[in-house]
Amino acid sequence: MSKQFFKMKKMSVRKKDIKGNESSCLSIMGCFGFFAILILFFAFCSESQPNDDTDKVNLQNEEKSKDSVITQSIAELSRINDVDSFIILNRNTQKKLQSIVLSHKEIHQHKLESITIKQIDSFFNEKNFDITLKLLSSVDSLNPTYEKNDTLRYIKAISLKELGKRKEAAEYLYNLYRKSDRLIELENELNPIKKIFSHYQALCYDGIYKEWTATRKGTCRNHGGVNKWNGKAVYISKRTYEF
């Protein structure tokens, strides 16, 4: 009995030692795993930071490149004398400017508009009205701010007038929204209001003017009768051109 008891005790001690070894191994492996995860995390952070910086640099370089292209195009526009070349480059620059994202986009847009308006004004002052209208038509469809510019509206209407297209000029002004005083004055000049004879009113004996009835009977009833059928001419106001 004593021998069996000692054997069982030794076996239990061995089992405890084995379990202890296993638990210590597991704890050591757990520590290694934790440290491995920490190492991977710091490695990832150190790699992602340079990538973010690289992306920012790439975006900045891309914007500088786009900015440079627009700046060169605008500078070239200011040196061009040929109208067709100016229109083509102006269109291309305008389309590029509308399609890209730039932090200084508004500044470029303002410069482009200034150069375009200056060019249009130059041809207008030289009385090259055909070229003036050609330039205006090339920019109106690209940027709505041109169409809202009061000076360009006036230039367009005058150019049409000087080319003998009074009705077209009058219609253009008629369709404009929120016209300035000088545009209203120009519209009245191109499409004046005229008085047109409409009909006569009858003069009654008591001095009252009355509209004729359909059969003329009873026109001046209760007014002493008709003294004169064509007592007063009635006119209506109409524009020269109706749109």
Q: Which residues of 107-145 are buried (b: 16+ CB within 10 A; e: fewer)?
A: ebbebbbebbbebbeebbeeeebebbbbbbebbeebbee
Q: How would you class 227 by CB atoms within 10 Å of its CB: exposed for 0-12, middle for 13-18, buried for 19 or more?
A: middle
Q: Which is more confident, 59 or 112?
A: 112
Which pLDDT score, from 0 to 100, does residue 142 have?
Answer: 61
More confident residue, 60 or 79: 79
Which is nearest to 74 in space by CA: 97, 50, 102? 97
- Please tell me the distance from the alpha carbon of residue 220 to that of residue 148, in angstroms, as a whole number: 55
What integer pLDDT is reported at residue 86 of this predicted model? 87
Pair of tokens at residue 16: 């405890």
CA 237 – CA 243 distance, rounded (Å): 15
Residues 102-129: what's their mean pLDDT?
86
Over range 44-52, report the average pLDDT. Answer: 54
pLDDT class for 233, splitting at 50, 70, 90?
very high
Mean pLDDT, residues 31-36 taken together: 60
So what's the pLDDT on residue 17? 52
- How much is the pLDDT for 71? 86
Greatest extent of the chain over all pairs of C-alpha atoms, in Å: 160
pTM for the model stands at 0.59
How far apart, in whole angstroms, are the C-alpha atoms of residue 187 and residue 166?
A: 10
pLDDT of 162? 97
Q: CA 109 to CA 101: how far, in whole Å?
A: 12
